[in-house]
A and B are shown apart, each in its own frame.
Chain A
Amino acid sequence: MSEKRTGAARAGGAPPAVPAPAGGGGAAGGLRGELRRHTPARVGLDRAGVSLSTRDWLAFKLDHARAADAVRAPFDPERVREELARGGVPSVLLESRARDKDEYLTRPDLGRRLSDASLALLAGEAGRFRGAGSDLLFVVCDGHSARAVPETAAGLILRFFERAAWKPGDLPPCCIVTRGRVAAADEAAHAFKARLVVNLIGERPGLSSPNSLGAYITYGAYPGIQEGERNCISNIRPGGLSPEEAVRRLSYLVESALARRLTGTGLKDDMPEGYLPFAEGRLFID
């Protein structure tokens, strides 16, 4: 027991003669600064006894609150629709079978399916669609972060069309799904008989990434397809994978998937360094 008392006395008394992590009040310099040059992790934190310093603890709480708020924040699909429309991309608003956020979080089976009303709407859209071909369908889901899609998704799609071999009108309208999970895209892809579907979805927020977007790419999607048959680009956000780089990788995977007619474990992301999206301007129509 003596070691405990000794430790307590030490921690409560004069600050130890060391820099951070022990040192109270050490700022960006010292050990903390040295460690933080190499990683975004919370290294070199200050301590008060065996607890975090007030500064570091409250910073953690703010980051957690922001991440948790990102899950619960209301999602405004209309805003995404308008942003897409300004860039000439038509879209349709859909909902999953999950009726609220709690149900979405605890019933993954409901978030993977579209509501009856949305399926009917989709059938009508698919009947009217007269584009040049259904090579590619974009789906957008709020997912686990209601911030990711409004902040990043529409911009990413518009940027994609600047580079892509298709004009927005060539493809089916973008499907914006509220309370949708990754597999919600499969029903939409099935309705439009799309060869390839890209689902841009809010990812599980982390403390340093409350607004991270993921892109799931699935060839020949149908309801019930296995998760292993998808490719994924993760951590798309300011400060993570930039939208520019995400569009480059997405274009590469889209081109590769259509050329090789598959996605999933058989399609490795080995994009060459100097890859230029759609350099050959090809359309992938059989």
Chain B
Amino acid sequence: MAHRPLKELMALASPPRAGDFLAGVAARGGGERALAQMELADVPLARFLEEPLIPYERDEVTRLIIDSHDRAAFAEISGMTVGGYRDYILSEAADAAFFARTAAGVTPEMAAACSKLMRAADLAAASAKVSVVTTFRDTLGLPGRFSSRIQPNHPTDDPRGIAAAAVDGLLYGSGDAVIGVNPVSASLPDLSRILHLLSELIERHSIPTQSCVLTHVTDTLELIRRGAPVDLCFQSVAGSEKANRGFGLDLALLAEAREATLSLGRAALGGGNVMYFETGQGSALSSDAAFGVDQQTMEARAYAVCRAFSPFIVNTVLGFMGPEYLANGKEIVRAGLEDHFCGKILGLPMGADVCYTCHISADQDDMDVLLCMLAAGGVTYVMGLPGADDVMLNYQSTSYHDVCWVRRMFGRRPAPEFESWLESFGIVPPDRALLPGAGGDRPAGLLLAGL
């Protein structure tokens, strides 16, 4: 029987996505899409190992996926079709141990294919069963836990402004994943100043968290050479060699950056998790580096890049790039659940930047729906911004309040080390109400004294 090429089948089976229409690879209608999904359901998982979507010879991400594939881990699922795999991972038979022992045998394309056959509730149900634990100064991803990044961006990188937003977040119990700043400036002295500010805040108050300045990996390497206090090394990555070159990087550079960051030995708990990666649907297409592969599969391929460097945290950035990639709130919601699912079953500590810009048809209600579903699926962390408004990057993400909301609604708690700190610092009373101000005004005074 003659097969349609997998690349074409995957694109046709992908749920409606603006970027796939832009690239001209999407199904022409719902019927064609549904038939493609049926055809995809019968594809054996093993076929993905024989038919790379981007040629092995042309692309180092494909080579990474194929060369690092763990046949032993794959053995248990090697006889399954995509549809059979979906049924199995949703069944009671698939527990956390199953996902842990098969993760290295799952390729991004297998994960993406499976996700295309799942609805939102399936994606959440499967993700919720996966446990991915990482460590630096605290432990992320433990059962019943939910973490957040404080994102205290400031339009001119003003140190006091960054500190004020960070203190606000700490008083809300945010910040156990990272305190991470997107800088405006690209000058190394400016970046170094921000790193020193964050490290001083963390050290002065013995906060079990880590800092990050989200700049290019080559900047971070230079900052390390100059002796700046780098906790996590950040980089945006994508799912093809060409797209990564557009970001000014290759796998060798990421390996060099990881080694340099590890050499600083700043992770009190060890674990080798020193990288922070961001990804996002549409990034490969935007640099004309998707090779006709659908947007969601390209995103999953970026997770192979992340996985190779044992990251501390990874998050997909959802509605930031614009409506040419994710058209509206509905597409953002769907993409968020797909990305979280694919990242988790590939073994990543997956978080999400639940976000939108003002030029896309989406609003806070859409973000609430996605946040709720991600929380149900056990998302590792989300962003915490003052009032959900990023005054530097000009987009809306989740707020310190939203982090409290998830903890309240789902009974989730911060990372254990951070939770103990919140208690001992007096931000949260011993009953762990985890509400801003519940610990009285002493902690606010202490933190502000450092401003």
Contact = CB atoms under 8 A, between A and B. Distances in A.
Contact of A38 (B18, B161, B323, B438): B161
A78 interface: no
B438 A22 contact: yes
A161 interface: no
A247 B357 CA distance: 28
Contact of B438 (A10, A41, A71): A10
B435 A50 contact: yes
Interface residues of B, number: 60
B358 A67 contact: yes
Interface string A48-74: 011110001000110110011011000
A191 interface: no
A155 interface: no
Contacts of A31: 171, 441, 444, 448
Contacts of A7: 408, 432-435, 438
Interface stretch (B68-76, B199-207, B303-311, B394-402): B394-402
Nearest to A69: B358
Interface string A92-135: 00000000000001111100000000000000000000000000
Given A41-B389, A107-B22, A207-B358, A11 B435 contact: yes
Nearest to A44: B168
A105 B386 contact: no
Given A3-B433, A18-B437, A204-B357, A41 B165 contact: yes
Interface stretch (B96-104, B113-121, B151-159, B212-220): B151-159
A129 B151 CA distance: 51
A206 interface: yes
A34 B388 CA distance: 20
A21 interface: yes
B386 A60 contact: no
Contact of A8 (B21, B162, B364, B408): B408
B389, B407, B411, B438 — which one has the most chain A CB atoms within 10 A of its CB?
B389
Contact of B386 (A45, A47, A235): A45
B259 to A, nearest CB: 27
B221 to A, nearest CB: 18
B444 A105 contact: no
Interface in B415-451: 431-438, 440-441, 444, 448, 451
A43 B322 contact: no
A167 to B, nearest CB: 35
Contact of A70 (B171, B358, B390, B437): B358
A38 B160 contact: yes
B3 interface: no
B327 to A, nearest CB: 7
B359 interface: yes
B167, B364, B386 — which one has the most chain A CB atoms within 10 A of its CB?
B386
B396 A207 contact: yes
B324 A107 contact: yes
B245 to A, nearest CB: 13
Contact of B154 (A20, A23, A39): A39
Contact of B435 (A19, A22, A43, A208): A22
B394 A204 contact: yes
A223 interface: no
Given A47-B401, A205-B359, A205-B394, A42 B389 contact: yes
Contact of B323 (A6, A45, A105, A207): A105
B435 A64 contact: no
Given A35-B168, A106-B18, A106-B324, A42 B401 contact: no
A209 to B, nearest CB: 6
Nearest to A67: B358
A210 B394 CA distance: 9
Contacts of B395: 204, 206
A212 to B, nearest CB: 8
A51 B435 CA distance: 11
A82 B211 CA distance: 52
Given A38-B161, A51-B405, A22 B324 contact: no
B298 interface: no
A285 interface: no
A17 interface: yes
Given A19-B441, A19-B444, A21-B437, A209 B408 contact: no
A45 B168 CA distance: 9
Contacts of B171: 21, 31
A133 to B, nearest CB: 34
Contacts of B364: 60-61, 64
A266 interface: no
A39 B390 CA distance: 11
Contact of B168 (A1, A21, A203): A21
A4 interface: yes
A41 B386 contact: yes
Interface string A205-234: 111111010000000000000000000000
A16 interface: yes
A144 interface: yes
A64 B363 contact: yes
25 contacts: A7-B432, A8-B408, A10-B435, A18-B441, A19-B437, A19-B444, A34-B448, A39-B164, A44-B386, A47-B404, A50-B408, A52-B401, A60-B388, A71-B359, A105-B324, A106-B327, A108-B324, A109-B22, A144-B359, A205-B358, A206-B389, A206-B390, A207-B391, A207-B396, A240-B155
Interface of B: 18, 21-22, 152-155, 158, 160-165, 167-168, 171-172, 322-324, 327, 357-360, 363-364, 385-391, 393-396, 399, 401, 404-405, 407-408, 411, 413, 431-438, 440-441, 444, 448, 451
Given A43-B164, A105-B322, A206-B393, 10 more contacts: A16-B440, A23-B437, A31-B444, A36-B164, A38-B160, A41-B391, A42-B389, A43-B387, A47-B435, A64-B358
